[in-house]
A and B are shown apart, each in its own frame.
Chain A
Amino acid sequence: GGIITQTPKFLIGQEGQKLTLKCQQNFNHDTMYWYRQDSGKGLRLIYYSITENDLQKGDLSEGYDASREKKSSFSLTVTSAQKNEMAVFLCASSIHIQDTQYFGPGTRLLVL
């Protein structure tokens, strides 16, 4: 088995601030993902990385940057936080892109 760790668990930011979320996995999976989930709704893909040093835009990449520093870690940056923004950011990994995804517990973002 393995585990996905997301830090921080809670993130409170100010409007216009740049915020970074981190994700680590010890599954030794090739592919990692960042999703956004609004208020108990569906997941929207922000960025994904098929392998180390790869970066692919998802459907919701505008306003975000991502970085796959090494195989086990994938970071997401909110480039300019929007006032009253509230969402959960979920990190996931899979062996390859068409395999079952394993999710972390999420980072809850609130922008004041």
Chain B
Amino acid sequence: QQKVQQSPESLSVPEGGMASLNCTSSDRNFQYFWWYRQHSGEGPKALMSIFSDGDKKEGRFTAHLNKASLHVSLHIRDSQPSDSALYFCAASSNNNAGAKLTFGGGTRLTVRP
């Protein structure tokens, strides 16, 4: 079983709508989480990181972390066609053995004009 699981695999929302992406970890050692976005033909780019329980907002993007349930989510409000991309959740732990990032399988977001 993958240590970082994302849902849904794909998501379609209308322009201006809200997109919600989910990520669950099966490793209690994971303490630090990132969201990355990858447009077609490019490398992934970091959107935001979240290390503490609660919400973190950056522009139209809000991440929410619940360490007790090992769940992190990303919400995109006022979705734009340019938000159409593959979104990855990534996690790492605070010990040397697990310090490297573990990526989830990704959620493909399509924003319909």
Contacts and interface: CB of A to CB of B under 8 A. Distances in A.
A101 B106 contact: no
A95 B11 CA distance: 33
Interface string A101-112: 111111000000
Contact of B46 (A45, A97, A101): A101
Nearest to A6: B43
B7 to A, nearest CB: 13
Q: How large is the interface on A (under 10, 10 to 19, 20 to 34, 35 or more residues)?
A: 20 to 34
Contact of B42 (A48, A101, A105): A105
A109 B100 CA distance: 25
B99 A104 contact: no
B106 A98 contact: no
Given A97-B99, A98-B99, A100-B49, A41 B105 contact: yes
A104 B43 contact: yes
A40 B100 contact: no
B86 interface: yes
A90 interface: yes
Contacts of B34: 100
Interface of B: 2, 32, 34, 41-46, 49, 86, 88, 92, 94, 99-101, 103-106, 108
Interface of A: 4, 33, 35, 40-45, 48, 56, 58, 90, 92, 97-98, 100-106
